Structure 1
Amino acid sequence: MTDSDTITGLLVSALEHAWAAIRSRHPDVPDVVLTMGSGSAGGNLTLGHFVPNRWIRGEYELRELFVGGEGLQRGAVDVLGTLLHEAAHGVALTRDIKDTSRQGRWHNERFRGIGEELGLTLTHNPKLGWSLTAVPDDTQRLYRDELDELAFALVAYRRREPERRGGRKSNNNGLSAECGCGRKLRISRSAFDVGGIRCEVCDELFEPSET
């Protein structure tokens, strides 16, 4: 390793090259400002995020791509999966498609469609929607060079922040549920477990938002 090939330099270069490769195959993926840091602040683990209009360059607003340092230990394939996942959010922004709700936590069917277009396999999570990301063999072969560079660069990862004890206690006031358009209701757990409750406005099921 030369003086210029620092751990940070290797990581940033590999991530930027992978993002550029994704953009070359999918023109609706926007340019971004790449940032890295802690993804475990507050107790939850964030592998990555895509946020519009977070950076300013003169008169222009730029998008942010964040990659959590803790997630780097998962290896090159899963890190590529994170990049493709966030690229799908970027495509939704470019096409003016509402792909999430609940402050970006719930991933709907429109996000699933874009993710599959970018080469991902997506699995449904009862709390987050179509958010669980996997990179199938065909996509791995397509990004073989980028995966090799990522594997070479992933020589370190960030230790997860220690969990804080205490915090908010659960209550006995039932379960709060939210649909895709943000409407909320509170219902007992036993009544909710009888069967799905569908919103007539957005046609999506109410899903638990807290207990």
Structure 2
Amino acid sequence: MTLTTKATGSRIISVLEQAWLAVRAQHPEVPDVVVITGAGSEGAWMTWGHFNASRWRRDGRATPEMFASGELLGLGGRRVMEVLLHEAAHALAAVRGIEDVTSSNRYHNRAFLRLASEMGLKGPRERDKTIGWSACVITDATADRYRDTIKMLDAEKLPYVDHPSVAAYRQWMAEKSTGEAPAAGDAPDDDQGGQGEGEEDAPEPLPRLPRTPKGIGGSGTGRNGTRIKVGCGCRSTWVTYAFWDCGGITCDACGEAFDEVGSTS
């Protein structure tokens, strides 16, 4: 008897490798990578993808790593390509010796924005004071250029890491179906953010849930806001109600459990 399975890690990696090869076919300067995947969520933060220029070694030489989160695989081919192109922009920065992130790799500066544009992404209308110009989205023209790869990713129906952020992000993307990136903060239109090193993307907050229409579900539950502010003994943060309702969060720094502080629409 021959046993077969479709839900294998090797299949996931193979499909992601094909998608990365499609990027390299359009942009030969983008390097070959070791593709890995796994859970990207940690507490109230999500790493959808990251690039590291020298984490692996092959034949005695440093080899880059490209990580795509298991949660990302539940969001469809277009979103997967968007993240891969984001990481490819970081890859170009590494190849060209350009510093594109600062502040412990969280703040994406204008150099990143230029590289992301070169990869076919569109930057946000304004920079965010914490993550800079990170919130770049794939354009329709770029998606059309990768239409065969996007179709392949969708047709594969890859297994994905089940997490409240997947459903939340699907709702968020549906609300932003115009293809425009949301305005990201109200900071002045300049580059700041301090100094940093490395190539990996730092985690970003989990996506905001769209507002629940009045009178639809959750009547009297206080769940009409999109996010909830929670705090521990040393800090506070915003998380989605979908994530908060899954269970408590304990702070790794102070060891205290987070408690509800407030909500926002």
Superposed pair shares fold, TM > 0.5: yes
Aligned partners of 1:150, 1:7: CA distance in 2, in Å? 15
For the structure 1 residues 7 and 154, does the alpha-carbon distance in structure 2 shift closer, same or farther, using more than 3 Å as the test?
farther
Q: For 1:130, what is the secondary structure of its paired residue? A: coil
Asked if residue 135 in structure 1 is aligned to residue 138 in structure 2, the reply is: yes
Return the structure number with greater helix share. Answer: 1
Q: 1:76: which partner in 2?
A: 77
Asked if residue 87 in structure 1 is aligned to residue 100 in structure 2, the reply is: no
Aligned partners of 2:77, 2:8: CA distance in 1, in Å? 15
Q: For 1:17, what is the secondary structure of its paired residue? A: helix
Q: 1:150: which partner in 2?
A: 153
Q: 1:62: which partner in 2?
A: 63
Amino acid at match of 1:138: A
* C-alpha deviation, 1:88, in angstroms: 0.2
Within a 5 Å distance, the mapping from 1:28-67 to structure 2 comes to 28-67=29-68
* C-alpha deviation, 1:137, in angstroms: 0.9
Q: For 2:30, what is the secondary structure of its paired residue? A: coil
**Kept in 1: contact 2:107–2:193 (CA 8 A):** yes
Return the structure number with greater strand share. Answer: 1
**Kept in 2: contact 1:11–1:154 (CA 8 A):** no
Aligned partners of 1:152, 1:39: CA distance in 2, in Å? 23
For the structure 1 residues 4 and 157, does the alpha-carbon distance in structure 2 shift closer, same or farther, using more than 3 Å as the test?
closer
Aligned partners of 1:74, 1:126: CA distance in 2, in Å? 27
Aligned partners of 2:73, 2:128: CA distance in 1, in Å? 22
* C-alpha deviation, 1:4, in angstroms: 6.4
* C-alpha deviation, 1:96, in angstroms: 0.5
Which deviates more from structure 2 when the two are superposed, residues 122-131 or residues 97-106? 122-131
For the structure 1 residues 161 and 59, does the alpha-carbon distance in structure 2 shift closer, same or farther, using more than 3 Å as the test?
farther
Q: 1:159: which partner in 2?
A: 162
For the structure 1 residues 180 and 126, does the alpha-carbon distance in structure 2 shift closer, same or farther, using more than 3 Å as the test?
closer
Amino acid at match of 1:36: T
Aligned partners of 1:106, 1:154: CA distance in 2, in Å? 33
* C-alpha deviation, 1:93, in angstroms: 0.5
Q: 1:102: which partner in 2?
A: 103
**Kept in 2: contact 1:36–1:66 (CA 8 A):** yes
Which deviates more from structure 2 when the two are superposed, residues 83-92 or residues 144-153? 144-153
Aligned partners of 1:61, 1:161: CA distance in 2, in Å? 36
Q: 1:194: which partner in 2?
A: none
Q: For 1:18, what is the secondary structure of its paired residue? A: helix
Residues paired across the two proteins, number? 169
* C-alpha deviation, 1:156, in angstroms: 2.3
Aligned partners of 2:136, 2:195: CA distance in 1, in Å? 24
**Kept in 2: contact 1:115–1:121 (CA 8 A):** yes
Q: For 1:51, what is the secondary structure of its paired residue? A: strand
For the structure 1 residues 156 and 5, does the alpha-carbon distance in structure 2 shift closer, same or farther, using more than 3 Å as the test?
closer
Structure 1 vs Structure 2: percent identity of aligned residues?
36
* C-alpha deviation, 1:121, in angstroms: 1.1
Unaligned 5+ runs, structure 2 = 166-190, 197-234, 237-265
Amino acid at match of 1:78: R
* C-alpha deviation, 1:155, in angstroms: 3.5
- What are the superposed Cα offsets for residues 170-196 of structure 1, whole Å, 9 maximum, x if unpaired? xxxxxxxx944439xxxxxxxxxxxxx
* C-alpha deviation, 1:75, in angstroms: 1.4
